[in-house]
Structure 1
């Protein structure tokens, strides 16, 4: 019977920690937007469209994440990334 009491005590402790303590995702709205991240936009380096952080396609290239509006733009970038990176640098004022 002592084992059952310990199990119930542990279950109650676990429930309250998940509900109100460390894992209290229900209380603070975990999974919903926390503000700034929802406003982050990426610019497709191929066509220049704005792409939401959770939309489109992503590609890591030399340690930088680039986002693309479509698979077609991603394929064009993968075929010749330097072309589009030079174009981005010109638009950003990186080249004269």
Structure 2
């Protein structure tokens, strides 16, 4: 590359060295996550998003998190966070967890 092109790229912030790395791809896909949630809670999956792990989750080795909104039969909303690679439940928040939980 010619020196003036490198300088131009750096000035515009288009340097490949400055590019953000691509987000991690979870090992588990959405149907596997939905199946894992349905095996533990009665209700309906409303929304799922991929999120970056918080500090504590990163400390545990989590790379990517599925955050799900789940509507229980009692019309309560649960927020669940699952490890995108293992499917492990990281946290569950919301009222009605006990009533929605499937006992084995």
Q: Which has the higher contact order (CA 8 A, sep 6+)?
A: 2
Pairwise same-fold verdict (TM > 0.5): no
Structure holding more helix per residue: 1
Structure holding more strand per residue: 2
> What TM-score does the superposition give when structure 2 sets the normalisation length?
0.30
Q: Which has more radius of gyration? A: 1
